[in-house]
Amino acid sequence: MGILWLFFMKETPKKFIFKIIVIGDGAVGKTSLINRFTEDGFQDDYIPTIGAQFSVYTQKINDDECILFLWDIAGQDNFHFLRPSFYKESKGAIIVYSLEENDLGVRSLNNVKDWHNEIKKFCGDIPIIIFANKVDLVNKNEMDNKKVNKIINRKKFIGVYQTSAKTGENVDDAFKTIIKLLYNKYK
């Protein structure tokens, strides 16, 4: 009877579906990060996202299946009117900014607060993680993280990962952090 009881008491694997939005200024590497994570690939040429595109990724956790729809949302201002419709039913968000020491890097970090406010406005209180991308283009020893740490602590983000879509540095860990968080929240 013990074996039969264990057979019937064993939980059946479950399927979870999570929509995760990936947002940030144009040219910070959102599409490249998604491609690195889902296909382990990288393309040097910059091709702006028009509106939004999505990728599907499946991961097993404890025999359960997590199906992720990663929505890559255009960061250019001329697509701002479309974004609210793309945010619907999102369970989590990734805000990407560039670590480059140029106008794009400065502007994209400054805009993290605006992206956060937009997510809160249209999605409510969902988990948000920061990807500080293009770490391969900077000297980590000379980086000043005070500003980003201040933003993270003030806005209560899950955390920040310094990533490189080009080399793959921290990309898997960063994506899997939000996947595990959502899995634990909804299991």
What pLDDT score does 162 carry? Answer: 95
DSSP one-letter string for 97-143: EE--SSHHHHHHHHTHHHHHHHHHHHH-S--EEEEEE-GGGS-GGG-
Nearest to 47 by CA among 34, 60, 66: 34
Quickly name the fold that domain 13-186 has.
Rossmann fold (3.40.50)
pLDDT at 79: 61
> What tokens does 9 get?
């008491």
**Which pLDDT value is given to residue 119?**
95
pLDDT at 76: 66
pTM exceeding the 0.75 threshold for the entire prediction: yes
Chain centroid to Cα 35, Å, comes to 12
pLDDT for res 184: 96
Residue indicated by tokens 């991961």 = 59
pLDDT at 47: 61
pLDDT reported for residue 46: 57
Token match 């970090």: residue? Answer: 109
**pLDDT tens for the chain, residues 1 to 187:** 455 444 555 567 899 999 999 999 999 999 999 999 999 887 776 565 655 788 999 999 999 999 999 998 877 666 666 778 889 999 999 999 999 999 999 999 999 999 999 999 999 999 999 999 999 999 888 887 887 778 777 787 888 999 999 999 999 999 999 999 999 999 9
Which pLDDT score is estimated for 78?
Answer: 64
Locate the domains of the chain by residue range.
13-186
